[in-house]
Amino acid sequence: MHSDHLPKPSFVQARHSDHGHSIKGDGADYPPAWSGQFVLDAYYLAGILNVTPQIAKHLLLNFLSTQDEDGEVDGKPGIAGQRGKFHAMPILASMAWKYYQMTQDDDFLAEVFPRLVKFFWSWFSGVHDRNRDGTPEWDHILQTGLEDNPLFDVWNPWSQGLDVSFVHSPSLEAMLYREAQMLVKMGKILGKPDEETALIAAQAGKIKDSLDAGWNPRVSFYSYRDRETGQVTESKVIAKRKGDGSMRPKFESETPVRLLVEIQTKSPAAKRPEVEISEYFTKSKGESELIAGHQFQWRSGGLVATTQMVFTRVGRISVTGLEENDRISVKIVDTTGEDITLGLPLWAGALEKQRAYAMIGRNIMMADRFDRPFGMPSLPLAPDLQAETVSMSVSLPWNSLIAEGLLAYGFRAEATRLTAHLMNAVIQNLKQNRSFYQRYHAEKGTGIGERNSLTGFAPVGLFMQALGVTILSGARVKLEGRNLFPFAVTIKYKGLTVVRGQEQTTVTFANGESVIVKDEAPCIVEM
């Protein structure tokens, strides 16, 4: 689709008969699936259309066309001029590098490199790195690519509603770490000064230190950590009451903790409560924080706010603005929740071999964790029985990133198995409902969310990577490893036919010439 608001052709996330018509006439009233693209979806689409790398190039240029003088790029630009108004997920350099690997297009690399460098550094401004420790935070749950994460989500009754900007998130750090690696590679190809790439590499080192601090050896997985204290904390109620008044919790902790204030009320829209949390019962002593009405966020069944301060003791909590049946509870925030995005350091290549093996063996390949019949679920454990559609939902873009990580670390068999699981979910829904779905159920394979969603298309790019076949053109094919799928695969492209069996691969060109390859070493077959 062409538009005046984006320089290159774009896409929509779903297509139905009732889509496309704008009553207003300018597209400003389009539904969410038509009101812009997330970077993660664009990355996934580029993988599906891996034999047409021009599309990946155009999608990337669309995002970069929204870049401002500070280097910020919009996270969801739309064809009718819509803007997400949040910073784009940092996987743009990864997209550019994938395109370059297919095309060796040096001119394109030279064009986008300075803009990608500016985009990388924009993440480290005080707007995103609030305490200036060299490791930024997400600003908004929509940026994270997992908007129903129960730690941060406010729409579901089982969700906590913690403000995502108060934690160090391994997924963001992994993306930035990988962006840095890609930029260093590009800099070398383009002959950029060593000082420029050395600065980027040094920043990657800081990010890696933060990632390492989030490693939990007990489960061989990563954890969210508090932005200020660097600690992982478990939820614990320290005070609760009905209606206005004061509480005297007498709470003390050896390490500082951040608090979450929850208010249950029948009419949240009418409420503007104020809550004051003080270290001591007497006002003249110690520090205190006042949470004003505008700091509360509406959530399912009430309101929620996260404290700016961290506390080692709380002597008094006073609340005003509640009705007598409204309930308030103050608790330590929970950062122990686990989800698929915490596996992203594998994709970023940020783990030493030993840790990677432990993480894969104890998480990705464990049936009681992420190894399910139809792909890796969003959460290894459901926070609540009602949360099944969230916890068991399989996101193909996230699964593809983890599978790319498996391949990068040499786990071909495991990546092939995961790819087969994802393909089974897609095939089952095509046979039963003649439709793709936004997500799939990890145990049953049933479709979840919007029908005919682009993010539910078969992961063609991943399938080809796991198979070890890269089509470079109608006359050039790259082969590596061997076919680990339990069946022979035939690929046809512009008169080219590749038949990949278990023992050998036959490449037949448009002119009828054939080449048989039995070697597993990477090689390029050309006419």
Same domain, 359 and 449: yes
Same domain, 315 and 265: yes
pLDDT score of 150 = 93
Same domain, 369 and 315: no
Count of domains for the chain: 3
- Is there a domain that residue 181 lies in? no
CB 262 within 8 A of CB 297: no
Same domain, 274 and 327: yes
What DSSP designation does 395 have?
P
Helical H segments across 22-82, by residue range: 39-48, 53-64
Query: What is the number of other CB atoms lying within 10 angstroms of the CB of residue 156?
Result: 19
CA dist list (Å): 312 to 254, 277, 315: 6, 12, 10
pLDDT score of 346 = 98
- Is there a domain that residue 247 lies in? yes
Backbone angles phi, psi at 19, to 5 degrees: -90, 160
Q: What is the pLDDT of residues 332-373, one digit of tens each?
A: 999 999 999 999 999 999 999 999 999 999 999 999 999 999
pLDDT class for 281, splitting at 50, 70, 90? confident
pLDDT score of 53 = 85
Rounded-to-integer distance, Cα 351 and Cα 40, Å: 22
According to DSSP, the β-strands at 236-242 and 327-332 are: antiparallel
pLDDT score of 31 = 55
Query: What global pTM score does this model have?
Result: 0.93
pLDDT(26) > 70: no
- Is there a domain that residue 489 lies in? yes
Q: What is the pLDDT of residues 390-418, one digit of tens each?
A: 899 999 999 999 999 999 999 999 999 99
CATH number, domain of 318, equals 2.60.120
pLDDT class for 186, splitting at 50, 70, 90? very high
Same domain, 263 and 361: no
Mean pLDDT calculated for residue range 505-520: 94
What string of DSSP letters covers 238-260?
EEEEESSEEE---EEEEEEEEEE
Tell me the pLDDT of the chain averaged across its residues. Answer: 91
Rounded-to-integer distance, Cα 407 and Cα 148, Å: 28
Same domain, 283 and 375: no
pLDDT class for 157, splitting at 50, 70, 90? confident
- Is there a domain that residue 227 lies in? no
Which of 179, 172, 95 minimizes the C-alpha distance to 139? Answer: 172
Q: What is the pLDDT of residues 300-318, one digit of tens each?
A: 889 999 999 999 999 999 9
353: CB partners within 8 A, 6+ apart: 409
Backbone angles phi, psi at 176, to 5 degrees: -65, -35
What string of DSSP letters covers 186-221?
HHHHTT--HHHHHHHHHHHHHHHHHHHHTEETTTTE
Same domain, 478 and 457: no
CB 274 within 8 A of CB 321: yes
pLDDT score of 30 = 56
pLDDT(166) > 90: yes
Q: What is the pLDDT of residues 436-471, one digit of tens each?
A: 999 999 999 999 988 888 899 999 999 999 999 999
- Is there a domain that residue 215 lies in? no
262: CB partners within 8 A, 6+ apart: 161, 302, 303, 304, 328, 329, 330, 331
pLDDT score of 5 = 72
Instruction: Give the structural domain span for 244.
Output: 236-332
- Is there a domain that residue 286 lies in? yes
Percent of the chain with pLDDT over 90: 78
pLDDT score of 23 = 60
Query: What is the number of other CB atoms lying within 10 angstroms of the CB of residue 455?
Result: 24
Mean pLDDT calculated for residue range 216-224: 97
- Is there a domain that residue 245 lies in? yes
- Is there a domain that residue 107 lies in? no
Same domain, 263 and 302: yes
pLDDT score of 3 = 56
Backbone angles phi, psi at 448, to 5 degrees: -130, 140
pLDDT(29) > 60: no
pLDDT(217) > 70: yes
Same domain, 498 and 445: no
Same domain, 377 and 457: yes
Same domain, 324 and 400: no
pLDDT class for 20, splitting at 50, 70, 90? low
Residue 268 or 95, more confident:
95
CA angle 453–457–463, rounded 5-degree value: 160
Residue 389 or 220, more confident:
220
Mean pLDDT calculated for residue range 169-182: 98
pLDDT score of 78 = 74
Rounded-to-integer distance, Cα 402 and Cα 231, Å: 26
131: CB partners within 8 A, 6+ apart: 227, 228
Which of 334, 355, 335, 337 minimizes the C-alpha distance to 346? Answer: 355
pLDDT(22) > 70: no
Q: Write down which residue in 300, 332, 364 finishes a domain.
A: 332
pLDDT class for 381, splitting at 50, 70, 90? confident
Same domain, 460 and 472: no
Q: What is the pLDDT of residues 33-72, one digit of tens each?
A: 555 788 999 999 999 887 788 888 999 999 999 999 999 9
